[in-house]
Amino acid sequence: MGARRGAGTRLAATAALVLLLGACSERADPGPAPATGSPSTPTSGEPTVPVADPAHAVDPPGPRKDRLWSADVLVQWDRSIDAATVRRIERLDGVAHTERIGLGQVSLENRVLTVAAVDPGAYRLFTRSDVADLQEAWDRVAGGELATDEKVARRLADDDAMIRLGTDDSAPVLHVGAYAPQVPTIDLVVNTAWAPDIEMSTDNGLLISTDNATPASIRKPLERLVGKGASVQMLDVASRLGLDPDARLTAIPTGGTLGSLVGTYRYRVLGGGRIAPDPAWVAANIRTEVVPILGSVTCHRDLFPQLRAALLEVQQRGLADEIHPGEYAGCYYPRFIAGTTTLSNHSFGLALDLNVPGNQRGTVGDIDRDVVAIFETWGFAWGGDWKYTDPMHFELRQVKRPG
């Protein structure tokens, strides 16, 4: 095991840090069940846990036999990695071990989170020792369930521990099988059988372990090898700061609406919560135009038809006074969500905030519900419906073109 891993904490902290949830097939109410703190033992040749989703199951990984690897560098492309490139990376001085994974970004309640499609048996070797050795967690991922950090699940999962991976009605809904800390910058983990449903690749990412070498020692040769089209993140830095501030970061939103409108979104961190998106992306996608009621606004070009249609209907139904232009807080806003290193849909110009003073986070809000209904009819999701409400917030959920 790598020198940087603390073997002394291998299983002692498991019960506090990893919580397994009952599989959907086990009971009508799939609420949390406490972890035992040690791997489950199969009996009579039966599987460790029931397969929750046979249509999205892969072979269970079995008990861990191989050594663990430090998760030091994460590379993300906007396409599948070719085998020749992986071989060249593996020959770099300082590269000890690699693992291909799929990477994509999903929008969940205005938070753009990274989902990884993985081989559970191979990916687990890059996680913390207590997590890697909790057998039931990886059996559940293999059986079609999702693993994520407990904070993410508590915020986004419904009462049945289900999370919809995307904004579209057709987006897949997965059961959270385990609360487990993941590799830095990765928020949600599924097996590779889910990748087609999430509309993401299975091999556009590469985890790299430098073992006892300093990760920064491979940065420059690695960046030269992969080129400017790939994002190279130092995970030892990300684990402290939430991201690697020297990386040219990449988001590839998945799913029908967001994926088709955003494409590949590259950006750099400027400090103070601000980011600098690729100027070519901004030039191709961001516009300033005049719309009813609000006047001049700056948004994604594909938001305007539905925004105009919604505001025009608000106006025609005599509800224009219910939207206060002086309390409009913007649409295109290239920065992280306050106090985080997480992108929002404002970064893509696909969300807007209305009537801010009376519609703060965590409240029911006072925005007129007929206005809300009109926006929903025109393909917008409303933050007032979320588990942690944001009633000022409207974001594009699906494309609907006015007739």
pTM as predicted: 0.86
Dist. CA 315–CA 264, nearest whole Å: 36
In this predicted structure, the answer to whether residue 385 has a pLDDT above a threshold of 70 is: yes
Read off the pLDDT of residues 249-261 as tens digits, 9 standing for 90 and up: 999 888 777 888 9
Query: How confident is the model over 296-311, as a mean pLDDT?
Result: 97
* Structure tokens, 305: 């038809």
Span between the terminal Cα atoms of the chain, in Å: 62
> Which of residues 239 and 20 earns the better pLDDT score?
239
Residue of higher predicted confidence among 240 and 70: 70
1 pLDDT band, cuts 50/70/90, is: very low
DSSP per-residue letters across 121-190: HHHGGGS-HHHHT-HHHHHHHHTT-EEE-HHHHHHH--TTSEEESSSSTTS-EEEEEEE---STT--EEE
The sign of the dihedral angle between the CA atoms of 368, 374, 375, 380 is positive
Go through the domains of the chain in sequence order and give each one's CATH number.
Answer: 7-258 (no CATH), 284-396 (3.30.1380.10)
- The percentage of residues in the chain with a pLDDT greater than 90, rounded to a whole number, is 73
Q: CB of 75 within 8 A of CB of 208? A: yes
Give me the phi and psi of 177, to 5 degrees please: -90, -25
H/E stretch holding 382: strand 380-382
